[in-house]
Structure 1
Amino acid sequence: MRYFPIFVDTQNQHCLVVGAGEVAARKIELLLKTEAQITVVAPEVTPTVKTYAEQGKISLLERRFRDTDIQDQTLIFVATNNSQLNQHIHEIASKAGLMVNVVDNPPLCRFITPAIVDRSPIVIALSSAGVAPVLLRYLRQKLETLIPQRISQLGRLFEQFRDKVKQHFNDLDSRRAFWEEVMEGDIAEQALNGNHEEAVKAIESKLANSSAQQPLAGTVYLIGAGPGDPELLTFKALRIMQKADVVVYDRLVSSDILEMVRRDAEKVYVGKAKSKHTLPQDDINHLLVERAKAGQRVVRLKGGDPFVFGRGGEEIETLIEHEINFQVIPGITAATGAASYSGIPLTHRAHAQSVVFATGHLKDDTIDLDWPALVQKNQTLVFYMGLTGLHIICEQLIQHGLAPSTPIALVQSATTHEQQILTGTLENIVERAKQSTIAPPTLIIVGSVVSLHESFAPYNQLNRNKLIQP
């Protein structure tokens, strides 16, 4: 992130605009929405800028720029058609440590002005670092239609009661919970409908009836983060993630998804890799209980789905034992994600009428599965966490009746931009895997449906395969 997004307090601050053409006029119009004291210097002035000066909105100096003009300025906008002058102002302002923006010339900008959705005191700023202004306008238009016009009134209501709520509740979690209840209830609706007085009375009543000492009831949310692509998150998952006080996440949760968690939420990593547990499962279970009993909203963020080899059932048993409230928000499991993004349908009328999910996780160097039940005609097999035991899986499937020529696919990092796929047969995939760079997390798909990959993948818009050639 080259440009750090900040909002500058313009109260009692001085801003200089060099230039008074139509481009400068647009910057002045934007600055007039702030509380800054605006000075414009230019030898030639357009009628729009002159009108601002006549109305007393700006101080206008109808002359050429002088180096001393930058003194005591907080922000400097340069909007002239003189490239040498633009370069000169940039150099002296930068040397003085001042924030300078040469309009439409990013290399000469120490800051850039974003696209703005203005619902003061609620202001949303959007930036593309100057590289995609058309995309920026598109996003702004979308936001303008999504955000209620009266959101500003809700913002003013929050501002009016901010200090009262802060005095009433001693801790941050209680204050946050109070405001979120206001946001999700009738009080916010009253404000958004323009009924400010009714909203004020309702929030005063709610505050009077809220005990500052009342303990908060903690809740644990078991959320399926999906197989990796952040666009596969559910709306509900994203909404709960934005409310979390603490997020307990594992190794399979992608960094892109973790970015969607509320910024000031505490993040606790409990990832598990082969033979390496940051925290044993029992400790994770009791961590959830401990944080919930402390009144926190705990998000247990898991790759895939919590109830498909995610140990969600074990964690819920502990929560029930300790009488902790919980919710389960399902996610797209790795099997369906890998199948969709690699062009391998798990079922197909001509190939497979059933699909079975199994774990390939080794325990005492064995995989204790009902192999005869797995080896059925017209059935697709999906093995989670099976790369280490791949040789055992292939040997057992062949031994119990599957043809050595049965197609098999290994899909690594499914649905992400790191997704890779290695195909083969039960008799050659182990050797092919040894000669490749395939590594966990990898899903194994076995069955004739794998043969459809080569014909389906080129036309699949979700296809992210990097085919591995050992």
Structure 2
Amino acid sequence: MGNYYPLMVDLSKMKCLVVGGGAVALRKTLALKETGVDITLISPEIMAPLVQLADAGEINLIRRPYQKGDLEGFHLVYVAINDKKVSEEISREALDTGVFFNIADQPAAGNFIVPSKIQRGDLVLSFSTNGKSPILSKKIRQELEERYGAEYEEFLQLLGRERVWALREIEQIDQRKAYFKALVYSTLPELLKAGKTAEVLRQIAEIREKTLSKEIGGTGNDK
């Protein structure tokens, strides 16, 4: 497989085509829906859950086989069919038109892959082995899921609020960096996990006080 460049993309203003109407197409469609991308699905045969999404106005359906020219107007395409000939035809057209494409059963034949992902609210941890070891990828996923639990969703929201406060209340950049560093390296995640809200507020107040009194010195890299 190729050397892939990791990239976080806002798909909310883009159009995506899914070719296929089976279980793989359903998984791809459900994952894509979370991004807000405009989804069109082409297939002569379509699973009931996909039909339900179309009836609810969440995706667009075209009930027929893929035809040359169907990629026009789309930014990326997922190929989720078992027809190698059609997959190759889509690949050629995608390469000619500059469309990003992924072939579910032949990832190396496409020009992008979807890495493994763990999401805790706005915190997204993404990783890939370039297809060399799915087992290692699974191991890493399990370790990260344990290390960064559900409490990190709330922790990141807290950091976002404190960032707004610090940018407003702390004028000196070094002090501000020290404040961010003190929060990140604190025991706040553990307290959030334990549900100790009062202790969370106490620790934040303490870090604020120390920062404003210039008791904290730091060389954090956040800005």
Give TM-score scaled by structure 2 length.
0.81
Aligned equivalents of 1:161 and 1:94: distance in 2? 46
Residue-by-residue CA offset, 1:62-119 (whole Å, 9 max, x unaligned)? 1222344323323211111111211121222222222111113133211101111121
Give yes or no for the alignment of 1:75 onto 2:79.
no
The structure-2 alpha-carbon separation of the partners of 1:40 and 1:218, relative to structure 1 and needing over 3 Å to count, comes to closer
Aligned equivalents of 1:62 and 1:197: distance in 2? 57
Deviation at 1:187, TM superposition (A): 4.3
Counterpart for residue 330 of structure 1: none
CA contact (8 A) 1:150 1:194 kept: no
Counterpart for residue 138 of structure 1: 139
Residue-by-residue CA offset, 1:347-376 (whole Å, 9 max, x unaligned)? xxxxxxxxxxxxxxxxxxxxxxxxxxxxxx
The residue type equivalent to 1:29 in the other structure is L
Counterpart for residue 176 of structure 1: 177
Aligned equivalents of 2:72 and 2:24: distance in 1? 23
What is the alpha-carbon root mean square deviation over aligned residues?
Answer: 3.2
User: Counterparts in 2 of 1:337-416, with a 5 A limit?
Assistant: none
Give ranges in structure 2 of 5+ residues lacking alignment. none
Deviation at 1:52, TM superposition (A): 2.5
Larger Rg: 1
- Specify the SS of the correspondent of 1:86: helix
The residue type equivalent to 2:52 in the other structure is T
Counterpart for residue 161 of structure 2: 160
Deviation at 1:201, TM superposition (A): 8.4
The structure-2 alpha-carbon separation of the partners of 1:28 and 1:200, relative to structure 1 and needing over 3 Å to count, comes to farther
CA contact (8 A) 2:120 2:150 kept: yes
Deviation at 1:48, TM superposition (A): 2.8
Aligned equivalents of 1:8 and 1:153: distance in 2? 23
Give yes or no for the alignment of 1:108 onto 2:109.
yes
Deviation at 1:208, TM superposition (A): 7.3
Aligned equivalents of 2:73 and 2:205: distance in 1? 44
Q: In proportion to residue count, which structure has more strand?
A: 1
Deviation at 1:189, TM superposition (A): 4.1
Deviation at 1:196, TM superposition (A): 6.8
User: Counterparts in 2 of 1:428-447, with a 5 A limit?
Assistant: none
CA contact (8 A) 1:20 1:45 kept: yes
Give yes or no for the alignment of 1:16 onto 2:8.
no
Deviation at 1:2, TM superposition (A): 0.9
CA contact (8 A) 1:25 1:49 kept: yes
The structure-2 alpha-carbon separation of the partners of 1:74 and 1:167, relative to structure 1 and needing over 3 Å to count, comes to farther
CA contact (8 A) 1:18 1:65 kept: yes
Deviation at 1:31, TM superposition (A): 1.4
The structure-2 alpha-carbon separation of the partners of 1:186 and 1:106, relative to structure 1 and needing over 3 Å to count, comes to closer
Residue-by-residue CA offset, 1:289-332 (whole Å, 9 max, x unaligned)? xxxxxxxxxxxxxxxxxxxxxxxxxxxxxxxxxxxxxxxxxxxx
- Specify the SS of the correspondent of 1:34: coil
Give yes or no for the alignment of 1:217 onto 2:221.
no
The residue type equivalent to 1:82 in the other structure is D
Deviation at 1:202, TM superposition (A): 6.3
In the alignment of these two chains, the number of paired residues is: 221
Aligned equivalents of 1:127 and 1:133: distance in 2? 9
Give yes or no for the alignment of 1:27 onto 2:28.
yes
Deviation at 1:126, TM superposition (A): 1.6
**Larger RCO: Structure 1 or Structure 2 (Cα < 8 Å, ≥ 6 residues apart)?**
2
Counterpart for residue 151 of structure 2: 150
- Specify the SS of the correspondent of 1:70: coil
Aligned equivalents of 2:14 and 2:195: distance in 1? 33
The structure-2 alpha-carbon separation of the partners of 1:171 and 1:13, relative to structure 1 and needing over 3 Å to count, comes to farther
CA contact (8 A) 1:128 1:136 kept: yes
Q: Which range moved further: 192-201 or 93-102? A: 192-201
Counterpart for residue 40 of structure 1: 41
Aligned equivalents of 1:174 and 1:98: distance in 2? 47
Give TM-score scaled by structure 1 length.
0.42
CA contact (8 A) 1:157 1:200 kept: no
Deviation at 1:203, TM superposition (A): 4.4
Deviation at 1:20, TM superposition (A): 1.2
Runs of 4+ in 1 over 6 A off after TM superposition: 195-198
Deviation at 1:165, TM superposition (A): 2.8
Give yes or no for the alignment of 1:87 onto 2:85.
no
CA contact (8 A) 2:155 2:188 kept: no
Aligned equivalents of 2:148 and 2:204: distance in 1? 22
CA contact (8 A) 2:20 2:41 kept: yes
Deviation at 1:173, TM superposition (A): 5.0
Counterpart for residue 98 of structure 2: 97
CA contact (8 A) 1:153 1:194 kept: no
The residue type equivalent to 1:6 in the other structure is L
CA contact (8 A) 2:21 2:43 kept: yes
Q: In proportion to residue count, which structure has more helix?
A: 2
Residue-by-residue CA offset, 1:376-435 (whole Å, 9 max, x unaligned)? xxxxxxxxxxxxxxxxxxxxxxxxxxxxxxxxxxxxxxxxxxxxxxxxxxxxxxxxxxxx
Give ranges in structure 1 of 5+ residues lacking alignment. 220-242, 246-263, 265-470
